[in-house]
Amino acid sequence: MTKLAAIQMVSGPDIAQNIATIKRQLHLLRQDNPKEDMLVVVPECCLVFGTSDEVVIAKAETIGAGEMQAGLCSLAQEFNVYLVGGTIALKAPDGRNFAASLLISPTGEVLAQYNKIHLFDVDVNDGIGQYRESDATFPGQDISVIETPIGRIGMAVCYDLRFSALFRTMREQQADIVVLPSAFTKETGKAHWEVLLRARAIENQCYMVGANQGGVHENGRETWGQSMIVNPWGEVEAQIATGEGAVASDYDKQRIEAIRVKMPTLSQQRLTSCRLK
């Protein structure tokens, strides 16, 4: 049996404290599921959150080296899980950072790096008001679907959720599970988080694992929470409201296959998916 799990956090700017939070939740997950194969997803900005772009840039790491990458790899190995390390800031060529999500094996090996493609440049009716993620973040260019012993894993991050063509392309590449580390604002999360996660699961007949930030952060920003696991029929298998915590659910590969056979939407699609520009 394979378990899918999402850890919810209220991350701050201290890397060590955030690593300790993830470790605490992994320990609880392993207590409940001591022997199962497990895929665990942690939120966007998991190790540095709630601070200025300048501080994030100062803490950004070179790909393959640094405290954040080493910490996540160590946690995956210690708890023998496939770990999707939310996003961390890795240096990009133009002086900005990639919002990089790492898929790490139970041996601590980085299997894939997905760089967030769609950047959150929007106006929101909350205490912050204006978000311009592209000021400090370099957009990713590549879609990531990775073959693993527990299934084919597609990778996306937060604002990507609004762009259905990305998920359709991952479905065309045979993704069975899509992971979505996020930091949805309270306002956008309340309106759209659940409905979009369920829609992407239904459209693509896959499991969605959404790990969200969920609470009031040190800089006053408020995130929505409601981390959840959605099955390929669009049903919410498990969820948590706000605050630190974790949820887990069974992964049923046979259910995916049965749904795709009975309702073969991929082969019936008459429009070509949009491709990344």
Residue ranges covered by each domain of the chain? 2-268
SS3 27: helix
The residue behind tokens 């990531």 is: 144
| Distance from chain centroid for Cα 191 | 19
What are the angstrom distances between the C-alpha of 216 and each of 15, 34, 49, 116, 185?
18, 32, 11, 24, 10
For the record, the structure tokens of 62 come out as: 């070179």
pLDDT given at position 124 = 86
For the record, the structure tokens of 213 come out as: 């930030």
Q: Active-site residues: which are they?
A: 44, 116, 158
How many Å apart are CA 91 and CA 234, to the nearest integer?
A: 36
What are the angstrom distances between the C-alpha of 32 and each of 25, 28, 79, 123, 177?
11, 6, 13, 41, 22
Q: Report the CATH fold assignment for 2-268.
A: Nitrilase/N-carbamoyl-D-aminoacid amidohydrolase (3.60.110)
How many Å apart are CA 13 and CA 16, to the nearest integer?
A: 9
For the record, the structure tokens of 146 come out as: 């990775």
How many Å apart are CA 233 and CA 181, to the nearest integer?
A: 21
Give the mean pLDDT per block of 10 residues along the chain (277 residues): 97 97 98 96 95 85 97 98 98 95 98 97 84 95 97 98 97 98 96 98 98 94 96 98 98 98 94 63
Nearest to 151 by CA among 43, 257, 30, 227: 257
pTM for this predicted structure? 0.96
Task: Provide the strand spans (E) within the chain.
Answer: 2-8, 37-41, 82-84, 88-91, 97-104, 110-115, 121-123, 130-132, 145-148, 151-155, 177-182, 207-212, 228-230, 236-239, 245-251
pLDDT given at position 276 = 59
The residue behind tokens 């939407």 is: 265
Q: H helices within the chain, ranges in order?
A: 15-32, 53-59, 67-79, 164-172, 186-188, 194-204, 253-262, 265-268
134 Cβ partners below 8 Å, 6+ apart?
119, 121
